[in-house]
Structure formats: C-alpha cells, structure tokens
Structure 1
Amino acid sequence: MARTVEYWFSTASPWAWLGSARFAQLAERTQTVVQVEPVDLGAVFAATGGTPFPSRSPARQSYRQLELARWSRRLGVPIRLQPAHYPVDREPSSRLVLAAREHGVDALALSQAVLRAIWSEDRDIADWVTLQDIARDAGLDGAALIESARDPRMHARYVQNTQAAIAAGVFGSPTYVVDGERFWGQDRLDFLEERLGGGP
C-alpha cells in the first residue's frame, strides 16, 4: 500500500518553493501519495508563536534573505528575494489549490506553479485572472477551477485546513507529516525520504 504524506504549506512560502520540485521528485521516487494542504500561515503563526516576516526585526529579516540566497544557489532554484507582489493575500491561491483537489486533478503540480509564479515570475497570486492563467498554463481547466475556488465553501475549507494544521502541530511552511511524524522545512527532505524508505 502506498504511503501518504500530508504536505502543509503556504502558497507564498519561499521555503516551500525551494523544496517544491525536490519534494515532488521524492514523492514520485518513493511512490508516495501527497495530500496537498494549503494553510493560512498567519493564523498558524498566531496560534504557535511565530512572527510574520514583515514584523520580524531587521536582523532576522536580513538573515532570512541571506539564507534564501544561499539555498537558491545550493539547489540551483532561482528565487526573487524581493518579489513584486509580497507580502500577498494567500487565500485566493490556497482556495485554487483546494479546488484542484476537489476536482481530482494534480494539486501538487498546481501548487508548484503557484509558488513559481510568485517567487520566480513576479506574478500576483492574489489576482483571480492571474490564477486562472497559472492553472491554464499548468494544463488545467483554469475557468472551472476559479469558479470552484470562488465558492464560499472553499473559504470554509481553507479555515478548516488551517485549524487541522494547528491541531497536527504544524508551525511553519513547509511541513511534511507521515503517520503523525513531522518534518519541518525543505532542508529536512532527506530525513523525510529516509522515513519513507527511499533514503540511505
């Protein structure tokens, strides 16, 4: 039976972007089912003691940027350290990913496309027209997904997802959970692969 990983993440997380392709490759390599779970990271932070990036001290902000640049070089994943549309409202893009799950299409690939849009392509992931284009570019029915995403039910699901993340002990993005065991951060993917039986 295939293993399942719960993938808790923010659609505007630079760390999720840096790990996105490697995580997808890991899941394919280990034949793991990914349960894509976008969350409201602001609400997660508020419940778990985290601090949103704009509210952090200058020392913490500058070090975060330094680390992003280091990991970008190490991984060969391009990243715009100061994207044009950041901070950004994550709810529209999160609802789009939830709609993809409901439609039974590749929500993981769509999540990658959304992360790429903000961190590599300087696109506004809070704009519904842009999101429709992102979905279409990913080979999906953008119009149908946007229609579902704008349904109030998706707001309720987004809130429920966020509460479920908090209940699961999630406090940052990305967090990968296997059978209740948490792996926080794209720099823990090696440990995740070991847990799934695909590592050394």
Structure 2
Amino acid sequence: MKVIHYYLSPRSPWTYLGHERLLAMTKKFDAVVEPRPFGLGESIFPISGGLPLNKRAPQRQAYRLIELKRWSEFLGLPLNLNPRFFPVDDLAAAKMIAAAIKPNGNEAALKLAGALLRAVWAEERDISDPDTLIQIGDENGLDGALLYASREAATDVYDAYTQAAIDLQVFGAPWYEYRGESYWGQDRLDFLERTLAAS
C-alpha cells in the first residue's frame, strides 16, 4: 500500500495551496493520505530555527507575499494575501482534524482540513472561533459540536503527530513523508508525484 504521511497546519497558506493537488495526485496513484496535524508554531519552530511571521525580517515578509501571489495565480486558487483573521490560533482547528480521524476516517479528516484552510485563506473566517469551527464541521458532513467537544480528547493524537514530526526532523508545513523520504512544501509535490509513479 502507498501511504503518505501528511504533516499539516490549518493556518499555513502553503498547506492550502498544496492540499487539493495532493489529494488529486494520490487518487491518481491509488495512494492513502494520513493527515497529521501537528504543533508547528509552538513545538517545531523553537527547535528548528523557524520564526513566526511577525518576527521574520522585513525582506522575508515582503518576498513571501510575492511568492503567495505567484502561486495563487499559477494554480488558479483564490487567496487573500492579508486575510482578516491571520495570524490565527489554529490549535483547536488542528485538534478537531485529529479528532475526526479515528471515528470518521482519513478522507473525512482531509475534507475538514481543506475546509479549514479555505476558511482562512479564501473565505475570511476565523478558525479560532468555536462557533465557526462547529459550523465548518457541520458544513462538511460531520457533527461539528461533537467534534469540537472531542478536540481535547484528541490531544494525545496531536501530541503523537508532533513528536513524530520532531523525530522526522520536520521544520515546516506542508511536509509529506513517503516510504522514509521527506518532501517539504507544496512546491515539492512534483517530486512526490514522480516517486509515486515509480513505486
């Protein structure tokens, strides 16, 4: 079986830009995607040299906007360069994705992840707001209130994914791992596709 471990952050624009392409690619090659929401900002950045956006040098912040605009136009995906609710605390959203995996399956969790990413980057919605999170869950065929209430029970899963990311030496999102090989960023999906095609 072809299994891809997908380390994601529901507030990451790069995760947003790559999400649907990853899912389309894996369907093409009959691969399974296991979503792994993890603690990028609070756990990974401090040990990997990463910085929150507002602490990065001005030239890095400026170039980030250029690249986001380029990729958005290239992929034909709507993207607000300065969304209303960003930066945003995405811990509850990430734990909701983790909570959805076991009872609802990977595909349902991936659908929820895609909706949360769109909420931030295309729909001007606040994924730190409980009512918004519940509504997004409902919109995607899940019991939003139950899923939100279950998020803290999924902390062990979230923490396990974060530790797995640390062990894998992940330092950004999205991060894809397939058969021991890592690919960082949505701009590496072409390399992942070649590997899938050859395996």
Partner of residue 66, structure 2: 66
- Deviation larger for 156-165 or 169-178: 156-165
Partner of residue 93, structure 1: 93
- Structure 1 distance, partners of 2:4, 2:196, is 9
Letter paired with 2:129:
D
Partner of residue 113, structure 2: 111
- Structure 1 distance, partners of 2:21, 2:198, is 13
3-state SS in 2 of match to 1:196: helix
Taking the TM superposition and a 5 Å limit, the aligned residue runs for 1:37-48 are: 37-42=36-41, 43-48=43-48
Q: How much does 1:102 deviate?
A: 2.1
Percent identity over the alignment is 43
TM-score (norm 2): 0.94
Partner of residue 196, structure 1: 196
- CA displacement 1:1-28 (0-9 Å, x = unmatched): x200000011100000011111110111
- Structure 2 distance, partners of 1:32, 1:129, is 34
- Deviation larger for 190-199 or 169-178: 190-199
Q: Is the 8 A contact 1:40 1:90 kept in 2?
A: no
Partner of residue 80, structure 1: 80
- Structure 2 distance, partners of 1:40, 1:65, is 23
Q: How much does 1:198 deviate?
A: 6.6
- CA displacement 1:34-79 (0-9 Å, x = unmatched): 1100111112111111111111011000000110000000000110
Q: Following superposition, which runs of at least 4 residues in structure 1 exceed 3 angstroms of deviation? A: none
- Structure 2 distance, partners of 1:54, 1:158, is 25
Q: How much does 1:85 deviate?
A: 1.0
Partner of residue 121, structure 1: 123
- Structure 2 distance, partners of 1:182, 1:197, is 16
TM-score (norm 1): 0.94
Partner of residue 22, structure 1: 21
- Deviation larger for 29-38 or 134-143: 134-143
Structure 1: 5+ residue stretches without partners: none
- Structure 2 distance, partners of 1:198, 1:84, is 42
- Structure 2 distance, partners of 1:111, 1:138, is 10
